[in-house]
Amino acid sequence: MNREENVNREEAMDREEAMDWEETAQEREFRQEVRAFVRDRFPACYRPDPEAEHSLEPEDVWGYDWPADRRSADPERRAAARAWAAALAERGWIAPHLPVAYGGAGLSPMREFILREEMMRAEVPTVNGIGAMLLGPTLVEYGNDEQRAAHLPGIARGETVWAQGFSEPDAGSDLASLRTTAVREPAEASDAADAEVYRVNGQKVWTSSAQHADWLFVLVRTDPRAPKHKGISFLLIDATSPGITIRPLRDMRGADPFAEIHFDDVRVPVANRVGEENRGWYVAMAALGFERAGIGATIKFERVLERLITSLRSAQGQDFRRADTAVLRHEIAQRHIELRVQYAMARLTASRQTAGAVPGYEASVSQLLGAELHQRLARTGAKAFGPYAQLWQRDGAPMDAAFAHMRFDAVAATLLGGTTEIQRSVIATRGLGLPRS
């Protein structure tokens, strides 16, 4: 059969399959393959840490924080984390959408969706999603050949951990007002031949996992006189460069999910700039646009809701359950309905991306819905246990105090990755085409 016939047949098959929620035989097979892989290759000694707070990255599962585990004080945990990354890397499944040449698996959005879904269901950790899911696609799109060759393989093998240094103390929602500066200066004699550098000064804050990172991708101001969006550049910075100080920040739960970073005359080669000088804002917006279809959070919520229902029906759960359950019952059903919708949206997003459809605003809608659903779910789950919901200690608490902790995790859900107020503005202006304020 020649190529054209092939294409036509594929198209004909597409036509039959459209508006079809059932997986194709190949998709089912792939799902089985992922399940078998996790079963065979996930290191048995890599166990969830029962005392840990939940990582706040959407695709992280409870009990694991891979960038931290990789450098854990416990040598066994360190080895287990690295073994898991090595196993995933064999398949190209750390950064599955990257081309095979860079260590990815060249998976379609639909396959990647299935891979993530199965990893979440198996409750195994993701290897530095910030590098794989945010920076990876950005470099493919905006990086040059040298940058891709230098950085993508490290991401795909789980050898370099990346953190995203965008926010600053005075630049949160209004990110474009950022003040960290990068001033170009001629090469010093000590520098290699034509190695022109930027001298970077300033401060970043709330940088997730920065204290565990090898490299940072950072927005800096390269033209202080230009309008605020037009004087920003996107730099890749080695976290061990002289002049960088990284200090972990404690959150309201007592965990350290993020850090602040001070840059004090840090010298960064000009060759580490992604995209043109002063065009970094647009590169950053694209990076934020590589939004995750939201499958990670959805599966996590689904599982915790299932556990809640099972617990309420168990003997132990009956002891903790509040006496008046009419409203609770209704609320749990509402959460179930909302999760179904959220899951369907994530599938729709992946399916549309795979079909090459022009991306709509599904991903933003999905993120907004998911963030608020996280908070509602946490409240519903806590409510189920009446006064016992105040137990923060895991010991002797219903469901190991999962919901007491989740109520605090969920406080961050409507802030990180852009507040829900900002998400709504994005949907209104970019999605619905309303005029900007």
Partner 1 sequence: MNLTSTEDQRHIQAAAAELLAARRMTAGARAVREEPEGHSPELWKEMTALGWPALVLPEEHGGLGAGFTDLCLLCEELGRHQIPSPLLATVACAALPLARHGSAQLCAQWLGAVAEGRTLTYVRAAPHGHWGTAGSTLTATPSGRGGFRLDGTALFVPYAGTADAMLVMAQVGDRTELTALLVEAGTPGLHRHRLDVVGNTPEYRVAFTDAPVPASRVVGTVGGGGAVAATAAALGTAATCAEMVGGAQGVLDMTVAYATTREQFGRPIGSFQAVQQHCADMAVDVLGARVSTYEAAWRLTRDLPAELAVSGAKAWVSERYERVCALAHQVHGAIGFTAEHDLPFFTRHATAAALSFGDADHHTGRVAEALGL
Ligand X SMILES: Cc1cc2nc3c(=O)[nH]c(=O)nc-3n(C[C@H](O)[C@H](O)[C@H](O)COP(=O)(O)OP(=O)(O)OC[C@H]3O[C@@H](n4cnc5c(N)ncnc54)[C@H](O)[C@@H]3O)c2cc1C
One symbol per residue from 11 to 50: x for binding partner 1 (CB under 8 A), - otherwise; what is it? ---xxxxxxxxxxx--x-----------------------
Nearest to 93 by CA among 42, 149, 151, 29: 42
Residue 275 interacting entry, from ligand X, partner 1, none, C-beta within 5 to 8 Å by type: none
Per DSSP, the three-state class of 298 is: helix
Where does 65-161 have alpha helices with state H? 66-69, 75-91, 109-122, 129, 136-142, 145-157
Residue 21 interacting entry, from ligand X, partner 1, none, C-beta within 5 to 8 Å by type: partner 1
Residue of 46, 142, 162, 206 interacting with ligand X (CB under 6 A): 206
**Of 132-140, 212-220, 341-349, 411-419, which part binds partner 1 (CB under 8 A)?**
341-349
Where does 225-320 have alpha helices with state H? 280-289, 295-313, 315-320
Pairing of strands 215-221, 232-238: antiparallel
Q: Which residues of 392-418 are buried (b: 16+ CB within 10 A; e: fewer)?
A: eeeeebbbebbbbbbbbbbebbbbbbb
Q: Are 124 and 88 in contact (CB under 8 A)?
A: no
Nearest distance in Å: CB 25, partner 1: 11
Residue 167 interacting entry, from ligand X, partner 1, none, C-beta within 5 to 8 Å by type: ligand X
Within 246-265, which residues bind ligand X (CB under 6 A)?
A: 257-258
112 vs 425: CA distance, rounded Å: 29
Nearest distance in Å: CB 428, partner 1: 3
Residue 412 interacting entry, from ligand X, partner 1, none, C-beta within 5 to 8 Å by type: ligand X
Residue of 160, 180, 208, 211 interacting with ligand X (CB under 6 A): 208
Q: Which one, 264 or 421, has the nearer CB to ligand X? A: 421
Nearest to 103 by CA among 140, 68, 78, 69: 140
Nearest distance in Å: CB 57, ligand X: 8
Q: Which one, 230 or 336, has the nearer CB to partner 1? A: 336
Q: Which one, 174 or 265, has the nearer CB to partner 1? A: 174
419 binding ligand X? (CB under 6 A): yes
Q: Which one, 19 or 193, has the nearer CB to partner 1? A: 19
9 vs 13: CA distance, rounded Å: 6
Residue 166 interacting entry, from partner 1, ligand X, none, C-beta within 5 to 8 Å by type: ligand X
The first and second tokens of residue 324, run together, are: 């008046």
- List 291, 331, 338, 362, catalytic entry: 291
398 binding ligand X? (CB under 6 A): no
Measured at the alpha carbon of residue 113, what is the angle toward residues 99 and 377, in degrees to the nearest 5? Answer: 140
Q: Which one, 45 or 341, has the nearer CB to partner 1? A: 341
330 contacts: CB under 8 Å, gap ≥ 6: none
Query: Is there a catalytic annotation at residue 421?
Result: no
Nearest to 165 by CA among 258, 71, 229: 258
314 binding partner 1? (CB under 8 A): no
Q: If you search the block for the tokens 């809640």, which residue do you land on?
A: 308
The first and second tokens of residue 61, run together, are: 């599962």
* Helices 362-383 and 326-354, packing angle to 10 deg: 160
Looking at beta carbons, which pairs linking 242-247 to residues 24 or more positions away fall under 8 Å?
A: 242/266, 242/267, 243/200, 243/267, 246/210, 246/211, 246/213, 247/211
One symbol per residue from 67 to 106: x for binding partner 1 (CB under 8 A), - otherwise; what is it? ----------------------------------------
Residue 257 interacting entry, from ligand X, partner 1, none, C-beta within 5 to 8 Å by type: ligand X
312 vs 27: CA distance, rounded Å: 35
One symbol per residue from 279 to 308: x for binding partner 1 (CB under 8 A), - otherwise; what is it? ------------------------------
The first and second tokens of residue 28, run together, are: 């089912």
Q: Which amino acid is at 414?
A: T
152 vs 95: CA distance, rounded Å: 9
Residue 431 interacting entry, from partner 1, ligand X, none, C-beta within 5 to 8 Å by type: partner 1
Residue of 137, 172, 269, 431 interacting with ligand X (CB under 6 A): 172
# chain residues binding partner 1, by CB under 8 A: 54
Q: If you search the block for the tokens 């490299």, which residue do you land on?
A: 215
Within 407-426, which residues bind partner 1 (CB under 8 A)?
A: 421, 423-425
Q: Which residues would be at the binding site for partner 1 (CB under 8 A)? A: 14-24, 27, 110, 309, 312-313, 329-330, 332-334, 336-338, 340-341, 344-345, 347-348, 351-352, 354-355, 357, 361-362, 365, 368-369, 421, 423-425, 427-429, 431-437
Q: Tell me which residues are annotated as active site.
A: 291
